[in-house]
Structure 1
């Protein structure tokens, strides 16, 4: 579960809290506290909500594109510490109803490890602010997101690439699962790969299934001048897609990669 603070600017006060509160609840979150005030920007509504991390991207998209919302910011919420701490600078997001450019969300710059990372030395920290700013953009542009991700990969320090791209993949995969597949019944792992993971991958890359192995022919993350398997986003997304059916117990392995000379990138699944 995550606690998040949303700051919304609107030109209308009446019905604003009710309308956005319904969106929060409909996406599986609880409204912990709220305050509303008038400012030079318009009516400012601040909401603190709590809910599942894998549903946060969808909630941000719904709030940021709501017809009552002119601008939207989000940041991780933490109770005030006993010692003063510098607050992160917000990055505004406009949905087109007000002035500005669409598509940015702010988050604190405190680094976090991706879901599933073990120990303090297992993975490099993730720049949360950069990730949370990118995720709503990916939601709006999906499935045309690979160019953005390749550009991000090139900019990241080498020590952060695997952890960051896998974490983004997990978040995107969980969002796609909830959007497109959550209403289906519970499936065995092999059927989940065939009916959920494969169709979702085919929106992004050339993917095919051979027995229980998913093969990708055109991963854009290969041949980046590094050794070893490098399709970290695809691996993370497959995990996010399948966790909706099988929880965190599902394990995705890139057993072969074109970056190491294989003909295709191969992903295998265990639970």
Structure 2
């Protein structure tokens, strides 16, 4: 067997013993993924329970039984009619508040009839035998304008800003109905006279409306 050549011997001699003994580079182990952050769950603060609703006590409806007019109170309110007319609204308001609630409407109606009859006797006694439309146009509307602002629309009278109908549900239209009844009754041809309150500002209407028929 031939001896190694000098070149091969030099290569063998120059090999680093540590390098010769080092194993081949091993592959790096796979890196673990970073841990995901832990979430902290915050529970909402529970709301306080809503207070129990206050029970609503229904007011029972009681139908008002109307009473006869308070004649003494009406006579007291009109005792100075000859001197007070047509500035009689304060007396009528005092009358409305002085009588019992159930007698308010009938007392105002009686005061209206007596006032209307007095006005007819004083100013329109010669105007009789008229038909309804003529009586409204020539007697009813002009006489009513001495007390309130009013417009005639056919057989209806529209009263604006009635001073007797300002409180909620407290209508004073019964005075105007009675006034027209006492005023027009003697003037029209024989026959019945009917006056119907269509609406009233005390119940939310813009004006008070009275419909007149025979």
TM-score, structure 1 as length reference? 0.52
User: What is the match of residue 92 of structure 2?
Assistant: 149
Q: Which of these residues, 158, 168, 173, is aligned with residue 101 of structure 2?
A: 158
- More relative contact order, 1 or 2 (CA 8 Å, 6+ apart): 2
Q: Equivalent of 1:224, from 167, 178, 190?
A: 167
Question: CA separation of 1:122/1:194 partners in 2, compared to 1, >3 Å: closer, same or farther?
Answer: farther
Secondary structure at the counterpart of residue 212 of structure 2: strand
Aligned residue for 1:162, secondary structure, equals: helix
Indicate the residue corresponding to 1:180 in structure 2.
123
Task: Quote the residue 2:145 is aligned against.
Answer: 202
Distance 2:99 2:72 in 1: 13
Aligned positions of 1:1-271 closer than 5 A:
123-226=66-169, 229-246=171-188, 249-271=192-214
Could you tell me how far 1:126 is from its partner in structure 2? 2.4
CA distance in 2, matches of 1:140, 1:160: 26
For residues 64-120 of structure 1, what are the alpha-carbon distances to aligned partners after superposition, in whole Å with 9 as ceiling and x for unaligned?
A: xxxxxxxxxxxxxxxxxxxxxxxxxxxxxxxxxxxxxxxxxxxxxxxxxxxxxxxxx
Considering only CA atoms, is the larger Rg found in Structure 1 or Structure 2?
Answer: 2
Shift of 1:248: 6.9
The number of residues matched between the two structures is 150
Uncovered stretches (5+) of structure 1, i.e. residues with no partner: 1-120
Deviations 1:123-156 (A, max 9, x none): 4122222222332212320000011101221222
Higher strand share: 1
State the shift of 1:188 in Å: 0.7
Q: Distance in 2 between matches of 1:140 and 1:248?
A: 33
Deviation at 1:202, TM superposition (A): 0.5
TM score, norm. by length of structure 2: 0.65
Q: Please list the CA deviations of residues 15-48 of structure 1 after superposition, one character each: whole Å capped at 9, or x if unmatched.
A: xxxxxxxxxxxxxxxxxxxxxxxxxxxxxxxxxx
Task: Tell me if structure 1 keeps the 8 A contact 2:181–2:195.
Answer: yes
User: Which moves more between the two structures, 169-178 or 182-191?
Assistant: 182-191
SS in 2 for 1:151: helix
Cα distance in 1 between the residues matched to 2:131 and 2:157: 16
> What SS class does the counterpart of residue 172 from structure 1 fall into?
helix
Aligned to 2:38: none
In structure 2, list runs of 5 or more residues that go unmatched. Answer: 1-63
What secondary structure does 1:200 align onto? helix
Looking at structure 2, the residues matched to 186 and 224 of structure 1 have their Cα atoms a distance apart, in angstroms, of 38
